[in-house]
Structure 1
Amino acid sequence: MSLLERSWYQKHWYINPLTWLLLPLSVLFWLISNFRKLLFKLAVKKTITSSVPVIVVGNISVGGNGKTPMVIWLCEYYKKRNKKAVVISRGYGGKSVHYPCDVNESSSPSQCGDEPVLIAKRTGFPVIVGPNRVENIKQAVDKYQPDVIISDDGMQHYQMGRHLELCIVDSKRQFGNGLLMPAGPLRETKKRLNSIDLVIENGGSAQFHYILAQSGLYKVKDDCPANFENHKVSGIAVSAIGNPARFEVSLAQANINIIDKKHFRDHHKFTKNDFANDSNINIFMTEKDAVKCKAFAKDNWYYLRVDASPNTNTQKKLERLLKTIT
């Protein structure tokens, strides 16, 4: 975690000189973002609403909050009901030569982003990435005629009309120091939660929450299930995600003895050189990171698959909300 990120989650932010130094920029951020929202409210800028229902799975803070597992859960929900879904995403970290860009499980994460490739691989539904979500939606409707469109992030993309908003909150980090960027981790103030259809905590014990349920360890190289015959094995935990501590706790719960930890910045583009000193040591990583390492993975590299498991309150509320739009 960088010095800036540590300041965001410091208990007493007001004693941190860096936070005070950045506060004027946060005020400027607030002015610009509110002016932009006002332009949409006054219809100076137009919100374009699709004829196909759009569900936004986002958050009001930066960093990994657990949106992708909920996107996958929604895809599985519609798959069980024989409905077609298309997922759209910014494709953060990808650099495609053209947008919108169609993604499938064989697409390159360096071109399309790691999370879109993971979603395509896990769900089998079409995924479209690009910086302009309205254009992504247009391509989704024209090309696939879906029953629903699920936007992975994009809560602050106000040009994109939406029929349902789900905000995912990390139960441990919550909203940090409660300040807007860059003095804090927030993209919008907590007041924004009042207009969101459902706020869901990732972990914790809130009324509406989900847990990440483990569904096995798999080989990065070929996606085959790992077979450790219930023996405790040791290895290095490698991650390039927003909250590596949660992943490492999950590994420990899966009976993995972590002998070392390697943290990279979220969406880091892995290369062979990142593992140059880890010759014969077992490597354990997230599924999101695994899609970026598949091409050069060794036999003893594994990823932990997890699935969103909403509690009863969340599942019932979600089903009621989803029935109103699809």
Structure 2
Amino acid sequence: MERPPSEAPMPFRWLSIPPAWLFGGLVALKNLLYDKGVLPVHRLDRPVISVGNLAMGGTGKTPVTSELVGRLEQGGLKVAVLSRGYGRRDPKATHRVDPDGDWTLYGDEPTMLARRHRSCWVCVGPSRREAAQAASSFEPDIFVVDDGFQHRQLHRDLDLVLLNATGPLPALFPLAHYREGWRGLARADAAILTRASQSGSPQTWMTQIRARYPKLPVHDLDFQPGELVPLEKGPHRPLSDLAGKRIAAYTGIAKPQLFFRQLEDLGAEIVVKYALKDHEPLTNHHRDRFLESCRQADAMWILTTEKDAVKLDPKRGFGVSLFFLTQIVSWGDKRTLDSLLKPFVD
């Protein structure tokens, strides 16, 4: 059986066990201090929904957060999204995200959310509590916390934990890229298996979860391609236009191979693949190397992700059409989202 790529290679697994125990002990101590009330948990004056995970990225939290925001707004609620804004220029500053502003002030994912949901307030701060204070003048009806499961300073009324069904089962870092093991699910209100249809063993996940937490609701979803959006103003293109196209693709996400595979499944011929680190921008050095590869390979289009696109200046051309691919959340059971949000929307 092929070893999942995020799991520690076999020669290093024995060496990884002691630091994993230490890491797990520190996580358990922090959670115990919150459970016993030694560390304070602050309650906001409006309901709080948290979207988080056990792993270190790569489960699709931001698309799911966006899906929740859209549904809550359809229900007539004013929504504020709270985030720390990973990778921003000054992590100690607190801001309301300007969707047309400088993404380096806010982080790429908060900027993406603000552009998708312009009537929503997206706020970033050194803590979710401080981000909530920045949203107070908006007087939201509900808060949604992006990547909030391990950040327990705020009381939450619904804790959703995402699990990547294509990855390894939970094992603490550095054995695998998990911030918490199975024990963390004891705090969850629902577990959501992402990329369920791409997993070779979704039933294994279901069995493992239900063996430990038989009363925990478990749902599943997939991420489907939406449409091709030009970086510069212009008409959106249907996915069918990718069939047979020679394209160059680049991205700075946790699992770039999933993006490349999605493009290939749509019929594109990827002649250049360029993978950056998660959240890494396309610097001038990267850009020059990438564009030279595009010229040599005679690429017709450049494709990237929506998260990467917020870091690009549309006024600075690439010499070839550049599109980003949107993602749509597809629930295994269409009633899932309504059932999760019913207490807040009704």
TM-score by length of 2: 0.83
Correspondence for 1:147 = 141
Q: Which amino acid aligns with 2:48?
A: V
**C-alpha displacement at 1:174, in angstroms?**
4.3
**C-alpha displacement at 1:318, in angstroms?**
3.2
Instruction: Give SS of 2:312's match.
Output: helix
Q: 1:40 to 1:195 in 2, by over 3 A?
A: closer
Distance 1:196 1:63 in 2: 17
Correspondence for 1:133 = 128
Instruction: Give SS of 1:208's match.
Output: strand
Distance 1:144 1:232 in 2: 48
Distance 1:227 1:196 in 2: 38
Q: Which amino acid aligns with 1:70?
A: V
Distance 1:289 1:159 in 2: 30
Question: 2:330 aligned to 285, 309, 315, which one?
Answer: 309
Q: Which amino acid aligns with 2:322?
A: W
Distance 1:90 1:66 in 2: 17
**C-alpha displacement at 1:152, in angstroms?**
0.6
Distance 1:270 1:33 in 2: 34
Question: 2:114 aligned to 94, 115, 120, which one?
Answer: 120
Does residue 47 of the first structure (1) align with residue 59 of the second (2)? no
Correspondence for 2:222 = 211
Distance 2:25 2:188 in 1: 21
Question: 2:96 aligned to 97, 102, 105, which one?
Answer: 102
Q: Which residues of 2 match residues 251-262 of structure 1 at below 5 A?
A: 251-262=263-274
Distance 2:196 2:116 in 1: 25
Does residue 172 of the first structure (1) align with residue 166 of the second (2)? yes
**C-alpha displacement at 1:18, in angstroms?**
2.4
Distance 2:235 2:65 in 1: 24
**C-alpha displacement at 1:129, in angstroms?**
0.9
Q: Tell me if the contact between 1:55 and 1:163 (Cα under 8 Å) persists in the aligned partners.
A: yes
Correspondence for 1:186 = 178
Residue deviations 1:44-87 (CA, integer Å, cap 9, x gap): 11111112111110100112110111111111101211211111
**How many pairs does the alignment contain?**
312
**C-alpha displacement at 1:227, in angstroms?**
6.9
Residue deviations 1:151-201 (CA, integer Å, cap 9, x gap): 1102011111111011112121143xx321123211111122243111112
Q: Which amino acid aligns with 2:57?
A: G
Q: Tell me if the contact between 2:92 and 2:126 (Cα under 8 Å) persists in the aligned partners.
A: no
Distance 2:183 2:239 in 1: 48
Distance 1:238 1:48 in 2: 41
Instruction: Give SS of 1:91's match.
Output: coil
Distance 1:267 1:145 in 2: 31
What root-mean-square deviation, in Å, do the aligned CA atoms of Structure 1 and Structure 2 show?
2.2
**Higher deviation after alignment, 72-81 or 270-279:** 270-279
Correspondence for 2:23 = 29
Q: 1:223 to 1:204 in 2, by over 3 A?
A: farther
Correspondence for 1:220 = 231
Instruction: Give SS of 2:335's match.
Output: helix
Q: Tell me if the contact between 1:271 and 1:293 (Cα under 8 Å) persists in the aligned partners.
A: no
Question: 2:7 aligned to 3, 6, 9, which one?
Answer: 9
Q: Tell me if the contact between 2:59 and 2:162 (Cα under 8 Å) persists in the aligned partners.
A: yes
Distance 2:335 2:343 in 1: 13
Instruction: Give SS of 2:313's match.
Output: helix
Q: 1:251 to 1:18 in 2, by over 3 A?
A: same
Residue deviations 1:227-280 (CA, integer Å, cap 9, x gap): 798452111221111111221122123332111211111000222321213254
Distance 1:167 1:229 in 2: 34
**C-alpha displacement at 1:133, in angstroms?**
0.9
Distance 2:234 2:182 in 1: 40
Q: Which amino acid aligns with 2:36?
A: L
Instruction: Give SS of 1:86's match.
Output: strand
Q: Which amino acid aligns with 2:231?
A: V
Q: Unmatched 5+ residue regions in structure 2?
A: 203-217
